[in-house]
């Protein structure tokens, strides 16, 4: 707390004192504690947490030459795509045929999280079980198919089944239908902070006692139209046609992002509910901080003030933060902005805090937060931090304690998950070891 | 301690009025905003109508350069936001902008611009400007508003389409409850586009003549567009700066039918559940509800399920509660429907006037409640609710109260 006060006293955007009120009291009598009891991952480096976690720790990259569509006309050629997945293993056949690929991805990650949690939904009050999903571009491929058919054939070409799966909340509805989840049901779409928002909302509702269990997270798919859009907006590595195409957050030679895809779901649950059913607890979600930066529609928080504020609002015990799962995505603006923010919040202590960006393994995508949160819960649970691969020569302006090369054993009391969107929505989640020592 | 949240600013762009007073007067008079589409060529469609925003000159609000970069959805959102922000006195009053955020609901968002780009791209024209792709994200309008007024508080976008901007009010409310903000800009904006128009057409959900909620002759919805923006503010903060208070936002409910991708659960169970969750959250009993802004899309199944749901909650008293279906006038504005209807619900409480459901002529035995047919009525109302339901049975209900400082 001392570090944070000292740091903020000297910055123009100091936090108003009154903010320390209710929000900063993690265990006020009314608030429920929220724990993470299940994890489901569909990723380019593994389906299910066993394989995924093993590959994270070994620093295995999911980034390869793009398959499935022609990228020969682009300067970029790489992506972190999923392997072939037999979704029949996860989704009821009757529902499967109504789902597009992103729908199948998210529903399958819910299945994995549910199985991992040991919850028996038939024993739960379905109106107290909810789902909160974030996706940046959702069914971009379905929307594109629908639109191309409309262009080609006119209104008669508009396919009703495509349309109903193209709406952004279809993926959340698929989950509700598949698992009979009748409580809270919401979908967020706000670029790179979509899934973190979904988790924040779920966390708050559980704290307030508005639900017992919420499946929270989400994801995105790497589709051809999405690849096209990112490329046309100049976001892909090599952004300006310089250097090799690589994903290496915090590196002085980085030059933009490589796209990835995947979906990650956390089972969030009130502590009482988890204890009652003797659930295994990975970690405790203990705080969420949200802020906005206003540098421009496609700009990140250049000075790091807003990211710093999000972190400061999330954390209640600054000395207990040992690890930051960074949002850093291999763009100079975000890597540097986030570095500035970490130093603003933690001052001298910043050097002691391990920082790693899982995006080096997975690539960047709006809904990456679900998977990154699963990894963070595993980090706290196992005391291990996955490496930021690819990164070799730290940018002098990114002088934080980046975990390079190999994974690192590091017992941690708590950690932060950062997300920063271009346009300026910044969310930090504070996740604690459980039990907290 | 739960914070009290009030509404201190309202702004609207709609087919029946491009600012609050024009919009509200039109609703009270029962003015129909539905006419032939001009935003795109509807000649190939079976239906050719929409509740399109007209008589709005972008150059009165934006520079030429801005107009090139802003989608139609961004423009509506910014115009309604400026009205809400200014009328709330927030431009004048010094405000801690780190404690002011934006949560909007989105539906089609800026797809109209994206369509323009891809139409050019797929048809081999070289003219498509990549700047049209800035609207590819549904977050774009939300970001524009925050950046324009330098708002540095929490920011996100809800994406449940037909219930998005109602859900956004719930999320904005929670941002204040979490202690992250004093002031939240919320509601939504949406514009007509061919993707959503053809999509609803393909599902045979569009009425070719007019929008007739709860009427036996109804054939479906009519798509609309516009923006409805509300300023939510923590009560103490509003009182301290002597802000105009239009109504209090008591609470909300969000839940799912978990039934079907497009059809509502036919017995109204999901509708009942969401209203009950919302009333419990607001600390209001069903007996206290004085008026309802219905979702009332005028699709065959929605209106029956909604009627059944309201009866399940309110019992015999359901027949006495005046219900408004304003989509008969402003159309179904998708991502901004809930925002626009929240503005109307707040105005209902403030003025004691309940807007009508127009084109109501032939009662449907399955929709047998008091839908305030064709003429607005005066009634002293204290508690009002607004329903929004989306594809997939994503249900939202908002609860508002006439403001009193007690």
For residue B136, give how far its alpha carbon lies from the nearest alpha carbon of chain A (Å). 8
Catalytic one among B144, B237, B295, B359? B295
Provide, as residue numbers in chain A, all residues whose Cβ is less than 8 Å from the Cβ of B198: 150, 155, 158, 163
Is residue B51 one of the residues assigned to a domain?
yes
**Number of residue pairs across A and B with CB atoms under 8 Å?**
234
Q: Which of B216, B247, B278 is the last residue of a domain?
A: B247
Q: Tell me whether B166 touches chain A (CB under 8 Å).
A: no
Distance separating alpha carbons of residues B111 and B225, to the nearest angstrom? 13
Is residue B406 one of the residues assigned to a domain?
no
**Domains observed in chain A:** 2-14+34-433 (3.40.47.10)
Reply yes or no on whether B144 is catalytic. no
The SS3 of residue A352 is helix
What pLDDT does residue A437 have? 79
Phi and psi at residue A74, to the nearest 5°: -100, 160
Write the pLDDT tens digit of every residue in B147-180. Answer: 999 999 999 999 999 999 999 999 999 999 999 9
CB contact under 8 A, A173 and B261: yes
Write the pLDDT tens digit of every residue in B26-40. Answer: 999 999 999 999 999
Nearest CA in chain B to A201: B171
CB contact under 8 A, A170 and B392: yes
Same domain, B280 and B174: no
Mutate: best of A21, A211, A235, A292, partner B, most B CBs <10 A:
A292
Same domain, B96 and B29: yes
Q: Using CA of residue A339, residue A341, residue A342, residue A343, what is the dihedral sign?
A: positive
Is residue B350 one of the residues assigned to a domain?
yes
Q: Exposed e or buried b for every residue in B97-124, given b needs 16+ CB within 10 A? A: bbbbbbbbbbbbbbbbbbbbbbeebeee
pLDDT at B391 over 80: yes
Q: Using CA of residue A434, residue A437, residue B1, residue B2, what is the dihedral sign?
A: negative
Distances from the Cα of B341 to the Cα of A120, A418, B173, angstroms: 39, 35, 17
What pLDDT does residue A5 have? 39
For residue B39, give how far its alpha carbon lies from the nearest alpha carbon of chain A (Å). 16
Same domain, B308 and B210: no
CB contact under 8 A, B146 and A297: no
- A243 CB neighbour count, 10 Å cutoff: 13
Provide, as residue numbers in chain A, all residues whose Cβ is less than 8 Å from the Cβ of B71: none
Q: Which of B227, B247, B267 is the last residue of a domain?
A: B247
CB contact under 8 A, A187 and B203: no
Distance separating alpha carbons of residues B76 and A373, to the nearest angstrom? 36
Q: How many CA atoms lie within 13 A of B357 on its CB side?
A: 28
Residue A75: asked if its preceding bond is cis (omega within 30°), the reply is no
Reply yes or no on whether B260 is catalytic. no
Is residue B270 one of the residues assigned to a domain?
yes
Is residue B257 one of the residues assigned to a domain?
yes
Residue spans of chain A under pLDDT 70: 1-29, 239-242
What pLDDT does residue A2 have? 37
For residue B153, give how far its alpha carbon lies from the nearest alpha carbon of chain A (Å). 5
Same domain, B142 and B241: yes
Same domain, B334 and B229: no
The angle that helices A170-179 and A101-117 make with each other, rounded to 10 degrees, is 40
Distance separating alpha carbons of residues B195 and B178, to the nearest angstrom? 37
Same domain, B135 and B274: no
Same domain, B360 and B242: no
Distances from the Cα of B47 to the Cα of A208, B41, B119, angstroms: 46, 11, 22
Catalytic one among B73, B162, B211, B397? B162
What pLDDT does residue A11 have? 36
With CA atoms as reference, report the closest residue to A207 among A315, A284, A135, A301. A284
Q: Tell me whether B96 touches chain A (CB under 8 Å).
A: yes
What pLDDT does residue B405 have? 80
Is residue B351 one of the residues assigned to a domain?
yes
The SS3 of residue A176 is helix
Catalytic one among B332, B333, B359, B397? B332
Distances from the Cα of A248 to the Cα of A257, A372, A376, B5, angstroms: 8, 16, 19, 45
Stretch 370-399 of chain B: residues touching chain A, C-beta under 8 Å:
390-395
Measured between alpha carbons, how far apart are the two ends of chain A, in Å?
A: 18
pLDDT at B125 over 80: no
Q: What does pTM read for this prediction?
A: 0.96
Find the DSSP H helices in A287-409. Answer: 305-314, 332-346, 359-362, 369-382
- The pLDDT-based confidence of B93 (bands split at 50, 70, 90) is confident
Kindly state the percentage of chain B with pLDDT values over 90.
Answer: 96
Q: Which of B222, B247, B272 is the last residue of a domain?
A: B247
Same domain, B308 and B208: no
For residue A387, give how far its alpha carbon lies from the nearest alpha carbon of chain B (Å). 30
What pLDDT does residue B127 have? 72
Provide, as residue numbers in chain A, all residues whose Cβ is less than 8 Å from the Cβ of B96: 16
Instruction: Give the domain CATH number at B384.
Output: 3.40.47.10
Question: What is the DSSP-derived secondary structure letter of residue A3?
Answer: H
Same domain, B228 and B301: no
With CA atoms as reference, report the closest residue to B128 among B118, B137, B136. B118
Write the pLDDT tens digit of every residue in B341-358. Answer: 999 999 999 999 999 999
- B283 CB neighbour count, 10 Å cutoff: 11
Residue B120: asked if its preceding bond is cis (omega within 30°), the reply is no
Question: Under a CB-based contact definition with an 8 Å cutoff, are residues A211 and A124 in contact?
Answer: no
Q: Tell me whether B142 touches chain A (CB under 8 Å).
A: yes
Nearest CA in chain B to A29: B1
Same domain, B213 and B170: yes
- A401-402 vs A354-356, strand pairing mode: parallel
Instruction: Indicate the number of domains in chain B.
Output: 2
Mutate: best of A26, A131, A182, A198, partner B, most B CBs <10 A:
A182
Q: Tell me whether A287 touches chain B (CB under 8 Å).
A: no
Nearest CA in chain B to A187: B159
Distance separating alpha carbons of residues B26 and A158, to the nearest angstrom? 34
Q: Which residues form the domain of B314?
A: 252-401
What pLDDT does residue A239 have? 53
Is residue B211 one of the residues assigned to a domain?
yes
Same domain, B103 and B128: yes
Q: Of all helices (H) and strands (E), which one includes residue A218?
A: strand A213-220
pLDDT at B96 over 80: yes
Same domain, B333 and B234: no
Is residue B280 one of the residues assigned to a domain?
yes
């Amino acid at each position: 707390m001392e570090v944070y006060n000292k740091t903020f006293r000297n910055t123009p955007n100091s936090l108003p004192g009154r903010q320390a009120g209710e929000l900063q009291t993690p265990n006020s009598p009314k608030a429920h504690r929220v724990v993470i009891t299940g994890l489901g991952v569909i990723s380019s480096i593994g389906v299910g947490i066993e394989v995924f976690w093993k590959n994270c720790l070994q620093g295995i990259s999911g980034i390869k030459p793009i398959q499935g569509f022609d990228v020969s006309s682009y300067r970029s050629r790489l992506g972190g795509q999923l392997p072939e997945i037999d979704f029949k293993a996860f989704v009821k056949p009757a529902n499967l045929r109504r789902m597009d690929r992103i729908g199948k991805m998210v529903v399958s990650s819910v299945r994995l999280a549910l199985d991992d949690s040991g919850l028996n939904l038939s024993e739960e009050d379905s109106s107290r079980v909810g789902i909160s999903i974030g996706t940046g571009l959702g069914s971009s491929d379905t929307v594109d198919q629908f639109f191309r058919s409309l262009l080609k054939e006119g209104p008669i070409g508009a396919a009703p089944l495509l349309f109903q799966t193209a709406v952004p909340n279809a993926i959340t509805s698929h989950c509700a239908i598949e698992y009979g989840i009748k409580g809270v049901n919401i979908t967020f779409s706000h670029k790179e902070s979509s899934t973190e928002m979904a988790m924040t909302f779920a966390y708050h509702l559980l704290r307030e006692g508005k639900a017992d269990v919420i499946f929270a997270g989400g994801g995105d798919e790497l589709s051809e139209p999405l690849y096209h859009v990112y490329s046309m907006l100049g976001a892909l590595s090599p952004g300006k046609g310089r250097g090799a195409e690589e994903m290496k957050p915090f590196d002085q030679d980085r030059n933009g992002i490589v796209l990835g895809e995947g979906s990650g779901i956390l089972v969030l649950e009130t502590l009482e509910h988890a204890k009652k059913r003797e659930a295994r607890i990975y970690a405790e979600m203990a705080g969420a901080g949200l802020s906005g930066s206003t540098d421009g529609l496609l700009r990140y928080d250049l000075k790091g003030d807003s990211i710093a504020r999000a972190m400061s609002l999330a954390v209640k015990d600054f000395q207990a933060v040992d690890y930051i799962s960074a949002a850093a995505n291999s763009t100079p603006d975000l890597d540097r902005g986030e570095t500035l923010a970490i130093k603003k919040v933690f001052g001298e202590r910043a050097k002691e805090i391990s920082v790693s960006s899982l995006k080096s393994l997975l690539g960047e995508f709006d809904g990456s937060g679900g998977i990154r949160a699963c990894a963070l819960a595993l980090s706290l649970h196992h005391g291990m931090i996955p490496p930021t691969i690819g990164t070799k020569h730290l940018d002098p302006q990114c002088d934080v304690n980046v975990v390079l090369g190999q994974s690192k054993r590091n017992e941690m009391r708590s950690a932060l998950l950062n997300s920063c969107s271009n346009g300026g929505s910044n969310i930090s989640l504070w996740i604690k070891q459980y039990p907290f020592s | 301690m739960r914070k009290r949240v009030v509404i201190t600013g309202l702004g609207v762009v709609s087919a029946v009025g491009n600012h609050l007073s024009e919009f509200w007067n039109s609703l009270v008079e029962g003015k129909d905003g539905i006419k032939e589409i001009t935003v795109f060529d509807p000649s190939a469609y079976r239906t050719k109508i929409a509740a399109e925003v007209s008589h709005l000159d972008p150059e009165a609000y934006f520079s030429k350069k801005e107009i090139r970069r802003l989608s139609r959805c961004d423009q509506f959102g910014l115009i309604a936001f400026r009205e809400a922000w200014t009328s709330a006195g927030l431009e004048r009053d010094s405000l801690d902008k780190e404690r002011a955020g934006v949560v909007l609901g989105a539906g089609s968002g800026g797809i109209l611009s994206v369509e323009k780009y891809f139409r050019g791209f797929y048809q081999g024209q070289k003219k498509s400007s990549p700047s049209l792709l800035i609207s590819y994200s549904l977050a774009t309008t939300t970001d524009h508003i925050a950046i324009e007024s330098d708002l540095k508080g929490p920011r996100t976008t809800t994406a449940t389409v037909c219930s998005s901007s109602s859900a956004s009010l719930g999320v904005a409310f929670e941002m204040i409850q979490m202690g992250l903000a004093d002031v939240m800009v919320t509601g939504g904006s949406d514009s007509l586009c061919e993707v959503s128009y053809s999509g609803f057409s393909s599902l045979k959900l569009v009425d070719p003549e007019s929008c007739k909620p709860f009427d036996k002759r109804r054939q479906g919805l009519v798509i609309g567009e516009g923006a409805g923006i509300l300023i939510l503010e923590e009560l103490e903060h509003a009182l301290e700066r002597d802000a105009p208070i239009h109504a209090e936002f008591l609470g909300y409910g969000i839940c799912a039918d978990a039934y079907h991708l497009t059809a509502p659960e036919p017995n109204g169970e999901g509708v009942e559940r969401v209203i009950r969750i919302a009333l419990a959250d607001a600390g209001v009993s069903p007996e206290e509800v004085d008026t309802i802004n219905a979702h009332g899309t005028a699709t065959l199944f929605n209106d029956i399920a909604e009627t059944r749901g309201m009866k399940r909650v309110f019992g015999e008293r359901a027949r006495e509660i005046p219900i408004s279906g304003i989509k008969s006038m402003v159309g179904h504005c998708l991502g901004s429907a809930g925002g626009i209807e929240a503005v109307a619900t707040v105005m209902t409480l403030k003025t004691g006037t309940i807007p009508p459901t127009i084109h109501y002529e032939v009662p449907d035995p399955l929709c047998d409640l008091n839908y305030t047919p064709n003429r607005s009525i005066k009634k002293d109302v204290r508690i009002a609710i607004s329903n929004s339901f989306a594809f997939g049975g994503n249900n939202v209900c908002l609860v508002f109260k006439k403001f009193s400082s007690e």
